[in-house]
Structure 1
Amino acid sequence: MLGSDFAAPLGGTDLLRGHLLLSSTSAGFDANGDMTRISAERGHKLWSEWRRRSEDWNNSAQYEQLSPRFANDNGFVSQTGLRRATVHLNRRLPAQTLALPALGDWAALEADELELQLRLMQSQTLDDPQQAVKSGEVIERQLQPGFWFAAARNTGVWGHLGLDQQRARSGGPLHQPRTLNLGFESNPNAWLTFLSAELSWGQRLDVEADRLGRGASLLLQAKLRSPLPWGWWLELEQQLGQSHVRNPLGQRSYIEANAQTLAVLHLSARDSLRAIAQQTRYQRVAEASLAAADERSSHLSLVFQHRFGLSRLFSLGLVSVLDKTSQQRDTELFAKASFAYQP
């Protein structure tokens, strides 16, 4: 892979930046899914952005193009074979007090920053004869008016309407989901260092069924930090998420749920013990054209780490993954030493 990026300030309020990546790979997969050598395939990724920030506006526009044969081995590209244009328009308003008169003065909130926002996005396919995909088919359109404001304790609150269009598969219908999206984040105090919640509710797209259904998704996250006896410190992070979409009969067509707990026990300035526990579940009810599914998995990771210096450390750990559907468990033990050498 070969690439370059650029950034060019345009006066005191404007910035132009972007990057271009070129890829070439001879790694492919055969009919059984095993890796094999193939004729070299070349691809590219182009991304550019214009941004303007002033006292009254915070606007940006991006254009992105990813060719069908772009080798995205870096893991930061979720989809190829498309071009996407995005515009963010944010009108900045003066600081003010937000209140609901019916609730009295106790419900008043001082908004240090306030923005009225509009997001516009369109994503279309690029020509890909190998996958029988024609150029110019709309993958997704977004029209999302909303707001955002910031208050004390690094508190941010936002909300927007999703007046979007989405396609589940090439050649399929272009659906028009309608959602209400709300969220907030804050740093409440010294022991509850971070708290956030995001909710999306309304008409959502069930990709496998290729239809709309009423549904919701909720994501909660909290981070805690607390001293313990013997000079130890505990950092704890908890994430919980669930989403579902209902079918025409009113049943929950599918449910996706996940939970993750991250705990770091600081034994000293040099020694720490980290544990990560994850649980995931996917359920789908049987329908005329869809098979029932109940897939569950758990992941456990334990790592002890000792630092010898700024760039020298030793790690000893265990990773265990259990597929609860097949009751198959994979366990790995590892030891790792790393250091940085400076002549």
Structure 2
Amino acid sequence: MLAVALMPLLLIGVLLGLPVRAQGPAHADEAAARVPPPTALQVLRVKGDAEVVLDGTLDEEIWSRVPTHDRFVQLQPRDRQEARWRTTVQVIIDRGALIVGIRAFDPAPEAIRAPLVRRDRVARSQDYVAVFIDPVGLRRSAQFVRVSASGIVADGLYSARDAAENLAPDFDVQAAARRLPDGYSVELRIPFAELRYPLEGGQPWRLMVTRSVPRGENALWVSAPLTSDALHLLAEMPPIAAADDLVDELRDRGFLRVRPELTWRRTQARAADGRTTSDNEALLGVSVKWRPRADWIVDGMVNPDFSQVELDQPQLSGNVRYALRQAEKRPFFLESLDVTGQGQGNEDGSARGLAAFYSRALANPRWGLRATWRGADGDATALAVRDKGGGTMLRPYAYGTIEAPVQAPSSAAFLRRRWQLGDLGVATLLSNRDYGGGRYNRVGGASVEGELGSDWQWRAQGLLSSTTADLNDDDMLEATRARSGHYLWVDLQHRSERWASRLHLEEISPRFANDNGFVNQSGIRRVSYELNRRLGVMPMGWFEADEFELQLALQETRTMADDRHGVPSGERADRSISPGIWFSGPRMLDAWMHANARSIRNETGGRLHEERTLDFGMTINPSAWFATLRLEWESGRMLDVDADRIVNGRTGRTEMLLRVPLPGGTALEAAPLLSWSRLDRPGGGRSLDEWAGRLLTVFQWSAEHSVRLILQRQRSTREEEPNLLSATRSTADTRSFIYQHRQPRGTVLAFGVTDTRAAPSGRRNTEWFAKYSVDFWR
């Protein structure tokens, strides 16, 4: 066991190579004295259109008249110190946009990492600058745009509530970068039409710039006096000077974007009996985005086509009891992620609060309409969607999730309204899913959140549901008498220089359901607690950790009385204790190790099993071409769900991102992923063997042209054990090829083919498509 525990440190040492010289102050107090105080960002206001050609250079005469901001501090890997190299920021406000000019000085320009990548693939393994802008001024959320040293854009929304960013939204921004003998420079134009701000009564706009320097220590520098103690990235975001009257000038400016899209699709399906059917379809769809004035955005879609959306990553499901959640990638659902709260919750839906709205529950929309309003003291969003069916209905209970395909069409509606009352945030929501024939699911509730000083953050939510749509014994949708349920949770977080902790309480009654949300377990009461002791810089032998934490996670789940599934009240479903460590270091190293002791029950009345495992995980940026390596491993005594017993087992996951520059400025990007799981028999030998692999390859020969190839396979093998387990074997293969030509202002031409095969059923589905869409603006 000691050798297993030491292996991660040996691997990290090999990847890091020679020790990286530690940088940063010896004492935090000394460093804090060098952190500049927050100041308003000075800008240049012009009445007409600024005379700037977006070519990445800052050589127009107007830039010589723009105030320069160059006070940057380091946030990562070690905070409370000045940035090592100079970065300057200049901002012009003309009648239609914010224009940001950034000069990134670099004493080793030949080492700048500027690969040619797809949009939204600009990450910390590259040199980039990013602009965060909060037009509401309350530091609850911000729109951000990253621009790499090669001019590639990544954009999205940052939520202060979750301290997380979402790269799904795309804004109509223009950017250009220019490599220079002493660094690089960037010009970025953000139209006011792409910003979301209140019509009246708002706070001054806020803006912050960050810079990534991925060499050795992988530094992140910011133009605000941030420290790692802050609850989120927007905590010290400075206002834009002389921008108080900007909304008055822009309040009545609107825009309309209409995007018609023509899609041709041919499908061919081979059934298990060998019979083949085919179909041809030409589909004309349209999407609309309309902003009648500053605080309203209306989105609409008819016959949407999402054939260009990347395939979901394969997930292991042979030894899990609960449904797993997938990320949303469809454009229509991305306008107001921060208002719906869709980013909330873990991937597996466990503690941290369940998503009250989960757009992937809407499988195949025929049409949709949504409106989003943003005011100075709150915001709201409402949507209505007609779904053609083909999705999955989830009916959870304490020990699993019942999943069944739902072919019936349905109508979905969702409304959420938020108020900001000083430091207190209050929200209400209403949700409805109607399948016709008296079958429906309705949810309503409220939430409240706030901060206590600069160290504490708390949230609470309560939901009530009423449901007449349920699954019968054959997992078919049927109308039943109305059943009601509730969902309550409270979350409290604390973060200071030396401590970080989180307490989470939740109760989900047995009959609670939310068909527009994500609920994979019900009939439980759960308490979880995390305590982290932050020790700062720590010698690790081969290198020095920039941050080191001792961690402890505790959790207990008990059941509520559920007559339908025969579950009594107060039965312990699980109890776990997980002490461990986490540390960060050079080359964006992020590593952790935990010892896990868990008592877990597989079914009501069943034996309380004792799991004992050791897990290890790490991510690192080994080199310029080896952009990311992520490893996860867990082994020990694990629960075999199907056999209801504890056996020796192991699970793992390896994910890489490789970027290879090619002649002529082209680039090849490969992202292999492999997940595996093995459970042994008590007497030796294999019981369950499961793995899922995926290879995503992108050939990018310009910012507009790309070819994407995806090869994906999942395989599961269960060995027979007489009177206990039946032998099962299944394999699923998917191959997808897509060519895409994307021009500025939204014109897209794409065509491709996706082929899916399953064994031993012999089913095969092949789809060819071609799509053309173009944007019209007014």
TM-score, normalised via structure 2 length: 0.41
1:80 aligns with 2:522: yes
CA contact (8 A) 2:678 2:686 kept: yes
1:235 aligns with 2:669: yes
After superposition, give the CA deviation of every residue in 1:110-166 in whole Å (9 maximum; x if it has no partner): 110000000001122222222222222222111001101110111012111111111
Structure 2 counterpart of 1:49: 491
CA contact (8 A) 2:510 2:562 kept: yes
SS in 1 for 2:564: helix
**Whole-angstrom distance in 2 between the partners of 1:314 and 1:65:** 49
Q: Pick one of 16, 22, 27 that aligns with 2:469.
A: 27
Q: CA shift at 1:3, angstroms? A: 4.7
1:278 aligns with 2:720: no
CA separation of 1:5 and 1:264: change in aligned 2, threshold 3 A: farther
Q: Larger % of strand: which?
A: 1
**Whole-angstrom distance in 2 between the partners of 1:207 and 1:217:** 14
Q: CA shift at 1:63, angstroms? A: 1.4
After superposition, give the CA deviation of every residue in 1:153-191 in whole Å (9 maximum; x if it has no partner): 110121111111111112111101111111111112221
**Whole-angstrom distance in 2 between the partners of 1:270 and 1:55:** 45
Give the aligned residue type for 2:736.
Answer: S
SS in 1 for 2:511: coil
Q: CA shift at 1:87, angstroms? A: 0.4
1:321 aligns with 2:763: no
**Whole-angstrom distance in 2 between the partners of 1:339 and 1:170:** 56
1:294 aligns with 2:729: yes
**Whole-angstrom distance in 1 between the partners of 2:463 and 2:746:** 31
Q: CA shift at 1:23, angstroms? A: 4.0
CA separation of 1:41 and 1:324: change in aligned 2, threshold 3 A: same
Matches within 5 A, 1:87-126: 87-99=529-541, 108-126=542-560
**Whole-angstrom distance in 2 between the partners of 1:274 and 1:5:** 42
CA separation of 1:276 and 1:132: change in aligned 2, threshold 3 A: same
CA separation of 1:155 and 1:209: change in aligned 2, threshold 3 A: same
Kindly tell me the number of residue pairs found equivalent between the two proteins.
Answer: 335
CA contact (8 A) 1:297 1:325 kept: no
SS in 2 for 1:331: strand
1:14 aligns with 2:456: yes
1:66 aligns with 2:508: yes
Q: Pick one of 608, 620, 626 that aligns with 1:186.
A: 620
Give the aligned residue type for 1:304.
Answer: Y
Q: CA shift at 1:224, angstroms? A: 1.1
SS in 2 for 1:194: strand
1:154 aligns with 2:596: no
With 27-36 and 317-326 compared, the bigger mean Cα shift is at 27-36
After superposition, give the CA deviation of every residue in 1:72-123 in whole Å (9 maximum; x if it has no partner): 4456433222222110000010302112xxxxxxxx2111000000000112
1:244 aligns with 2:686: no
CA contact (8 A) 1:126 1:133 kept: yes
Give the aligned residue type for 1:247.
Answer: R
CA separation of 1:164 and 1:17: change in aligned 2, threshold 3 A: same
Q: CA shift at 1:340, angstroms? A: 7.7
With 188-197 and 24-33 compared, the bigger mean Cα shift is at 24-33
CA separation of 1:307 and 1:117: change in aligned 2, threshold 3 A: same
Q: CA shift at 1:248, angstroms? A: 1.8
CA separation of 1:332 and 1:63: change in aligned 2, threshold 3 A: farther
**Whole-angstrom distance in 2 between the partners of 1:276 and 1:18:** 41
CA separation of 1:287 and 1:320: change in aligned 2, threshold 3 A: same
Structure 2 counterpart of 1:127: 561
CA contact (8 A) 1:121 1:143 kept: yes
After superposition, give the CA deviation of every residue in 1:291-314 in whole Å (9 maximum; x if it has no partner): 111111112233333334455545
Give the aligned residue type for 1:113.
Answer: E
Q: CA shift at 1:317, angstroms? A: 3.7
CA separation of 1:21 and 1:309: change in aligned 2, threshold 3 A: farther
Give the aligned residue type for 1:319.
Answer: T
CA contact (8 A) 1:270 1:307 kept: yes
> Which has more radius of gyration?
2
SS in 2 for 1:83: strand
Structure 2 counterpart of 1:306: 741
Give the aligned residue type for 2:624.
Answer: A
**Whole-angstrom distance in 1 between the partners of 2:551 and 2:519:** 26
CA separation of 1:11 and 1:41: change in aligned 2, threshold 3 A: same
Percent identity (aligned): 38
**Whole-angstrom distance in 2 between the partners of 1:76 and 1:206:** 25
**Whole-angstrom distance in 2 between the partners of 1:84 and 1:55:** 29
With 37-46 and 324-333 compared, the bigger mean Cα shift is at 37-46
Structure 2 counterpart of 1:165: 599
CA contact (8 A) 2:595 2:613 kept: yes
SS in 2 for 1:177: strand
Structure 2 counterpart of 1:141: 575
**Whole-angstrom distance in 1 between the partners of 2:521 and 2:491:** 19
CA contact (8 A) 2:578 2:597 kept: yes
Q: Pick one of 679, 691, 702 that aligns with 1:268.
A: 702
CA separation of 1:317 and 1:72: change in aligned 2, threshold 3 A: farther
Give the aligned residue type for 2:589.
Answer: T
RMSD (Å), alpha carbons? 2.4
Q: CA shift at 1:240, angstroms? A: 1.0
CA separation of 1:46 and 1:320: change in aligned 2, threshold 3 A: farther
CA contact (8 A) 1:201 1:215 kept: yes
**Structure 2: any 5+ residue segments left out of the alignment?**
1-430, 432-443
With 254-263 and 78-87 compared, the bigger mean Cα shift is at 78-87
SS in 1 for 2:606: coil
**Whole-angstrom distance in 1 between the partners of 2:775 and 2:508:** 36
Structure with bigger RCO (C-alpha 8 Å, 6+ apart)? 2
CA separation of 1:188 and 1:18: change in aligned 2, threshold 3 A: farther
